[in-house]
Amino acid sequence: MLIKIYGSAVFGIEAQTIVVEVNIDKGIGYHLVGLPDNAIKESNYRIAAALQNNGFRIPGKKITINMAPADLRKEGSAYDLTLALGILSASNQIKSDNIDSFIIMGELSLDGGLQPIKGALPIAIKAREEGFKGFILPKQNAMEAAVVDNLEVFGVENIKEVIDYFDKGKPLVPTKVDTRLEFYKHLSFPEFDFSDVKGQESIKRCMEIAAAGGHNIILIGPPGAGKTMLAKRLPSILPPMTLHEALETTKIHSVVGKLKNVGLMSQRPFRSPHHTISSAALVGGGSYPQPGEISLSHNGVLFLDELPEFERRVLEVMRQPMEDREVTISRARFSVTYPSSFMLVASMNPSPSGYFNDPDAPITSSPMEMKRYLDKISGPLLDRIDIHIEVAPVPFEKLSDEVNGETSSSIRKRVVAAREVQTHRFSTLENVHYNAQMNTKQIRKFCVLDEPSKELLKSAMIRLNLSARAYDRILKVARTIADLENSENITGNHISEAILYRSLDREGWLG
C-alpha cells in the first residue's frame, strides 16, 4: 500500500515541504531513498524501538520510502515521527484518512517520546502558505510555531498521542498564541543599565550616537577601563524591536534550535563570541550551512572583545556582510542567504601591553610590536566601523561618587526620537531605516554640507589621510548627531564632533 505524508526541510531561514512516500509490498527489506543523511538513515532503529514500546511494529515486508524532491539533501532526525506514521499507515496498523492534511515532524526517543526540532517557525510559515490544516510537532516547539496564525499547531509529547488522534479520533489540544499579546507581554527592559557606569560621559555620548544611527563602534582603552561594561549596556538604549523584527530574529534562532517553549523573541540579541571562533562559526557555514554569530546578531549587537586577538582571516570574512547586511553561503549544489543586519561593537587595547598613551604607565611595547599588534586589524575593516573612540580609566573620585549616572531609559528616549526622524526621512526608500544603512547616493542627498563645513572636512581628510569610505562614515555620523539635536541641516559643530570619532585614523595609531 502506498501512503503520502508530509514533512519539511529548512534551507537558510526558509522551509520547503518534503513529500514522504511510503510503499509496503511483498518481500523483505527496508529501502530509504531521496538523499537522506546518516541521521535519517539511522531512524529505522529509533522507529522500531519506539513502535514496539507502544504496541506496534515495523512489518516484515519490503518497505520503500522516498523523500521527494529526491535531488534535495535532507538532514537531521526530525523526520522520525513522519516516517513512523507513514509506515503505520501504509501497513494498515492505523487509519490515515486525513494524515496528508498535516505537516508532521519530530525526533523519536526509544520509548516514543518526542524531542524538539529545529526550524519550527519557518516550517509553520510554509505550512500555512501551502494550505495545510495543521502542524504536529514536539510540545517544546509548539509555542514557537503557534506564532503563525490561521494554522492549527498541535504540540505532543509522545507518538501514542498522534496515533490515537488519527486512529481513534482522540482530540489533540491546539496551542494558541496571540502573537501581538505574546510580543508586548514579554517586552521588558534589559538587565544592564547605563546608570551603573561611573563617569565616562563622553563614551556614553558615543554609544548614544551609535545607537541613534545604527553605527558600528570600536572602543580603544587599557584593561579595566570599562569597555565591556559599556558594550553590554548598548542594547538597553536601542529602540525596542518591532513585531516584524521580532519575527525575523526569531526565525533565525529557530533554525539553529535555540528556542525552547518561547513564542517570540522580544529583546534584541547580544552575541559575544570568543576570539578563538572560526570563520564558519562567525559568518555561518558547514557541510550543512547554519547561521553564524553575525546572523544570530541580526537586529541586535555583535560584540567582539579584544578585536586584535581574533584571527585576521576570520575578521576579513565579515567585510562583505557588514556592507550588504546579509551573508550568502554557496555550495556546489545550492546556496543559502542569511540576514545579518547587526551593530558591531568591538573593543581593543591600544597596544600589546594595553597601556599605550597612558601617561601613568610605562610603554613596554616596542614600535615593531605595536605595528604587528595593530596590523592584525585591516584598514578596510576599520573603514567599515563608523566610530573609533578612546576609553580612559575612570579616576577614583568618579568611582567613589554615590551619584548614579543618567539611566538607559532617558538615553533611549532621545535615541528613539532620532530614529523616528530617520524613519520619516527614509520612508520612501526600501531597506533603509537608519543613517548607517545609507549608500553613497543617499549620503549625497541627505548629508548636504555648507561651505564652511566642507572646508573643515576637506582639511581633516588631508591631514588624517582618510579614505573615501571614512569620508562617508563621517558624514553619516554627523547626520546622526544633527538628528539627535533635531537639526535639519548638518553644521560645522556636527562635522567636528564626527571627526573626533576617528581615533584610529590619527597619526600615531596606524601610521
Domain spans of the chain? Answer: 2-177, 194-505
Q: What is the pTM of this model?
A: 0.87
Partner residues linked to 346 by β-bridges: 218, 304
Cell numbers for 6: 508530509
Cα separation, 6 vs 86, in Å, equals: 9
What pLDDT digit, counting tens, does each position of 296-324 carry? Answer: 999 999 999 999 999 988 999 998 898 88
Greatest mean pLDDT range, 225-229, 299-303, 464-468: 299-303
Among 136, 121, 370, which Cα is nearest to 254's?
Answer: 121
What pLDDT digit, counting tens, does each position of 432-449 carry? Answer: 999 999 988 999 999 999
In this prediction, residues 411-431 reach a mean pLDDT of 93
- Mean confidence (pLDDT) of the chain: 88
Q: Give the C-alpha distances (Å, rounded to integers) separating 235 from 208, 344, 482.
A: 11, 12, 22
Q: Is the pLDDT of residue 22 over 60?
A: yes
pLDDT of res. 122: 95
| CB of 182 closer than 8 Å to CB of 147 | yes
DSSP H or E segment with residue 113: none
| CB of 349 closer than 8 Å to CB of 275 | no
pLDDT of res. 287: 75
Q: Look up the CATH superfamily of 194-505.
A: P-loop containing nucleotide triphosphate hydrolases (3.40.50.300)
Ranking 234-238, 357-361, 411-415 by mean pLDDT, the lowest is 357-361
| CB of 144 closer than 8 Å to CB of 254 | yes
Q: Give the C-alpha distances (Å, rounded to integers) separating 343 from 165, 209, 300, 302.
A: 47, 12, 6, 6
| CB of 118 closer than 8 Å to CB of 260 | no
pLDDT of res. 84: 96
What pLDDT digit, counting tens, does each position of 184-225 carry? Answer: 666 666 778 888 888 788 899 999 999 999 999 999 888 888
Compute the half-sphere exposure of residue 145: CA atoms within 13 Å on the CB side of its CA. Answer: 32
2-177, which class in CATH? Answer: alpha beta
Cell numbers for 167: 486512529
pLDDT of res. 507: 47
Ranking 19-33, 130-144, 162-176, 260-274 by mean pLDDT, the lowest is 260-274
pLDDT of res. 509: 47
Ranking 111-125, 167-181, 223-237, 341-355 by mean pLDDT, the lowest is 341-355
Cα separation, 163 vs 503, in Å, equals: 66
